[in-house]
A and B are shown apart, each in its own frame.
Chain A
Amino acid sequence: MSTLVDKNVHISTERARRLEQLACKLATTEDVLIEQGLDLLFMKQDCPSESEADVEDDWQLLARLETENGPVPYNTRPIHKIDRDQIVSIVGATLDPSRIRRIDE
């Protein structure tokens, strides 16, 4: 078992009240609840979110594709600045809003 240390922290009156009530309701101590809360917080910090994992997957995919197909000459080719003042018409394929998901959903 880990060594216990004393640590003074400042939390709001409301949180202190709810912590006390919850400990009472669950028949445990405030210390245990704080430990459990910290475990959750640490777990979240240690595990990347789905969106971070998704972005990481994309970087790995890109590395693999560049190995297979050659490196992309990224940011070395002429830039086409979309000049809004010169646009006569825009037509395009629309996306049904119900099909859009954020990568962390």
Chain B
Amino acid sequence: MRARIPIPPAVIGLAMFLAIWEVLSLWVHRPILPSPVTVVPIFAAGIFGDLGQHFLASAGRVLAAMVLSVVTAVPIGLGLGQMQRIDRIFAPLIAIVYPIPKIVFLPVIYVLMGITDLSKIFLISLIIFFQILVVVRDEAANLPPELILSVRSLGAGRRALFRFVYLPASVPVVLTALRLSAGTAVAVLFIAEQSLTTYGLGYYIVVETYQVLRYPEMYAGILAMGLLGLLIYFAIQGLEARFTRYQKRNDA
């Protein structure tokens, strides 16, 4: 059982993080590792200006990728989970493609789709797509037959089963898959944004600050990207807690 992290541990965690950072920066004592005392004000000023725009660009891409992968992977996963004959045809392909780190397709996607935001969003959604596809398929395939038969006996056809059984059954696993792939999604975003764009935290961190030795600003960018990952993670965790209330106290 996963409890929502209450405020105090998060505050303690943040304080420890900043303390270790400060100690390290004192110890290294070089421009490459500025103190949080320098970085945090830059971050605070930038997040409502230039840095904030990069943040929004990155956040927009990740969220678009999440939406794109959910709306495509959930129906396909539910379909495969219910139609075993078709699933058997595609299962080997999915088993092969699923573990491939999708970042290797970056050049292919750029060449085929062009250098637009869409190609970056597509690359990220490719990662999340397979994570969701697999868990939704398995969830749909493993629903108890008595459940399906009972609801069918109430008059439910394919559409009602989808709406009242398969869809709600897949919400918790979709959220878990999203949360677990959030880290990878942000990581791939970071790489994808390093080229062929002028907005996004990846661009800001690597091109605008790192390559021109603006280290304090670079760290502000890293903070922003870390914050993006954290916010996504905790937002999904909050949703999960809401949608899995019925699972609590089950073992009691």
- Are both chains from one complex? no
| A interface with B by C-beta (< 8 Å) | none
| B interface with A by C-beta (< 8 Å) | none
